Chains A and B, each alone.
Chain A
Amino acid sequence: MIKHLRSAADLDAATATLILDTAGEMAALAGREVKKLPTLRGRTVVNLFYEDSTRTRISFEAAAKRLSADVINFSAKGSSVSKGESLKDTALTLQAMGADAVVIRHPASGAPHRLAAWVDGSVVNAGDGTHEHPTQALLDAYTMRSRLGRLDGLRVAIVGDVLHSRVARSNVLLLTTLGAQVTLVGPPTLIPVDIAAALSPSTKVSYDLDSVLPDMDVVMMLRVQTERMQDSYFPSAREYSRRYGLDLARMRKMPEHAIVMHPGPMNRGMEIAPEVADSSRSTIVEQVANGVSARMAVLYLLLGGKA
């Protein structure tokens, strides 16, 4: 087993499949009356969050607690970071406190890679800048596999703000490893020119959502990340929504069995229409539940064995 989960590229097909299988067993345990497992008793997991996050932090916290690990939540706001402490000094502090794993979210791409060099414990990337978010990709892959029964040969469209999306990058890497065929869809301003070649040569790019929808098994909508946009990437929210938003009419163009995914939080009415988000083909709530199982699997596999 690997020591850190910094990138979806850290995972080969066998390891990724082991994580998904383990997540399946963890999900089965979530149905019991006593959800807690003694597995990580005495281990400490630090959630180091330099960016706002609700679902990812809570999801990691729930996952660690269900495995009986001690959880320390550290958010940059109201901490020594706001007094100017560097990531390295914070890391050394955590190291001194004996963290067995550090779950880090950071606005700078590559922060988890730097952190891994400074701490002895495992590092789990919970989102770094516009780079990667591997546990999101794992829970997405898990959701696809449990809904559609397989990943190999699955056709997946990732639609919207690919430029700023760490979710898109991790998903392309992981899904390609597991044999799925990914198409990136969005306005040319939000799809970096070389991204397909850089991530994996089998990835396709399209600027026309309507033409790809009939061939997809999975349509994953990305949030338009206005907080990361300094320039105007499209003329208006309304125009974006008309060309790349998933509404009911567009959903009907998808095959009967195809599912709609969104990593959340959603801009309802922008990239996804409320009726689509709430439809039975949407897996958005399932993704949140699966997130806890996938993260339990990751924490167990990173921390459960011999250090």
Chain B
Amino acid sequence: MASPRADAPSKIILSASDLHRVVDRIAHQILEKTSGATGTVLLGIPTRGVPLAHRLAARIHAFEGIDVPVGSLDITLYRDDLRLHATRALGKTELPGGGIDGRRVVLVDDVLYSGRTVRAALDALNDEGRPSSVQLAVLVDRGHRQLPIRADYVGKNIPTALSESVRVSLTETDGLDEVKLTGGDL
């Protein structure tokens, strides 16, 4: 898919305060669905999944006073489209102390689209250890899945056209909090 031009029309889907409320809700849902986040590890997928995982952990700590271990899982070396692009630089993989064996892993990413990133993450996870279960939390689900993959926690479902593109900005990586839809016939 060609990415839209920089001057293409765009619409803000989540403002900064919307985004914070969404993160709060996912944090509550994780607590609810994992009976208090015991034995749970949050693994962010670089780039924007990592700050999101840290935010979720911070909110969980604020709500319940529980420290959930946070790490990052780079999937570059597991991608199925490496040969379609120029070589990609690697992101960081940092598992929290104690590893992931026997724990519940919640993968955190910004946008769920084709599902191929999550497929790669599952493969990467398999080489890192054997979690008791794996869940998926995403800020935005924009549809158009190409693999049988679904998220356990979704911040916002955004129906999109293939010609559109979803841009997630986070303060940590982009200087502001915002989710934008660009391109297509807005």
Chains A and B come from one and the same complex:
yes
Q: Is the CB of B180 closer than 8 A to any CB of chain A? A: no
In this assembly, does B93 line the interface, its C-beta being within 8 Å of a C-beta of chain A? yes
- A residues less than 8 Å from B93 (CB atoms): 25, 28-29
A29's nearest neighbour on chain B, judged by CB, is B93
Assuming the contacts A37-B77, A38-B77, asked whether A1 and B86 have C-beta atoms less than 8 A apart, the reply is yes
Residues of the A chain whose Cβ atoms lie less than 8 Å from the Cβ of B39: none
Contact with A along B88-113 (1 / 0, CB 8 A): 11111110000000000000000000
- A25-B92, A34-B127 as given contacts; A304 in contact with B87, CB under 8 Å: yes
Tell yes or no: B74 within 8 A of A by CB.
yes
Select B88's contact among A33, A37, A304, beta carbons within 8 Å. A304
Q: Is A21 positioned at the interface, with any CB of B under 8 Å from its CB?
A: yes
Q: Is the CB of B83 within 8 A of A306?
A: yes
Point out which of A18, A38, A39, A300 has the most chain B C-beta atoms below 10 A from its C-beta.
A38
Known: A25-B90, A25-B93, A29-B93. A304 touches B82 (CB 8 A): yes
- Chain A residues within 8 Å of B84, by CB: 306
Known: A25-B74, A38-B78. A305 touches B127 (CB 8 A): no
**Complex contact B78–A37 (CB within 8 A):** yes
Q: CB distance B128 to A32 under 8 Å? A: yes
Q: What is the interface of chain A mostly: helix, strand, loop, or mixed?
A: loop
B87-A36 in contact (CB<8A): no
Q: Is residue B18 within 8 Å, beta carbon to beta carbon, of the partner chain?
A: no
Count residues on chain A whose CB falls below 8 Å from chain B CBs: 22
Query: For the complex, what is the distance from the CA of A141 to the CA of B28, rounded to whole Å?
Result: 47
CB of B99 to closest CB in A, whole Å? 9
Query: Given the interface contacts A29-B93, A33-B129, A34-B127, does A305 sit within 8 Å of B85 by beta carbon?
Result: yes
Q: Which residues of A contact B129 (CB under 8 A)?
A: 33
> B95 CB to closest chain A CB, in angstroms?
9
Once the chains are docked, how many angstroms separate the CA of A1 from the CA of B88? 10
Assembled-state Cα–Cα distance A30/B78 (Å)? 16
Establish whether residues A39 and B89, one from each chain, have CB atoms under 8 Å apart when the complex forms: no
Q: Is the CB of B127 within 8 A of A36?
A: yes
User: Residue A75 at the B interface, CB < 8 A?
Assistant: no
User: Which chain B residue shows the least CB distance to A304?
Assistant: B87
With contact pairs A25-B92, A25-B93 given, residues A301 and B87 touching in the complex (Cβ less than 8 Å): yes
Asked whether A22 is an interface residue with its Cβ less than 8 Å from the other chain, the reply is yes
Residues of chain A having any CB pair with chain B under 8 Å: 1, 18, 21-22, 25, 28-29, 32-34, 36-39, 67, 300-302, 304-307
Query: 10 A-B Cβ contacts within 8 A?
Result: A29-B93, A34-B126, A37-B127, A38-B77, A38-B78, A39-B77, A39-B78, A301-B87, A302-B87, A304-B88
